[in-house]
Amino acid sequence: DGKYGKKVTREELGRCTWTLLHTLAAQYPEDPTRAQKRSARNLINSLTTVYPCKECAKHFKEVLRHSPPQLNSGYELAQWVCRAHNTVNRSIGKPIFNCERVDARWGQLDCGEGACSLEGRRPPV
């Protein structure tokens, strides 16, 4: 395993990536600028070509082909990421997540003093 010990598994990579996508969606503005929409679209689309799990990337490309990202508001994006994640869950035999609960699961961000929220869409509690 080398000097630092642990290898990154497909599962760990997946959990970290979903954390990024759901957290990003939870902080995405209700009224995004064109630049923000473009960046979010690029980030999501990039996973189909450079996500470091070939099978996952290929699979995600299919997910996007059937259901392109919805980037017009924070609510839409959070729901879209939830559905995309559920599509993956279904295909690998994981439980389906109730998308009504996505905000309760991912809406809170804690890196102190609200420092990591994008535009205060979710004020720190």
Query: CA 125, CA 110: separation in Å to the nearest integer?
Result: 9
Q: For 60-82, give the DSSP string.
A: HHHHHHHS----SSHHHHHHHHH
The type of residue at 93 is G
| Segment lying near ligand FAD (by CB under 6 A), choices 24-32, 65-73, 79-87, 111-119 | 79-87
Q: Assess 26 for contact with ligand FAD (CB under 6 A).
A: no
Stretch near ligand FAD under the rule CB under 6 A, chosen from 23-31, 52-60, 66-74, 113-121 = 52-60
Q: Is 80 in the site for ligand FAD (CB under 6 A)?
A: no
Work out which of 17, 36, 45, 70 binds ligand FAD, going by CB under 6 A: 17
Which tokens in the block code for residue 65? 């082909």
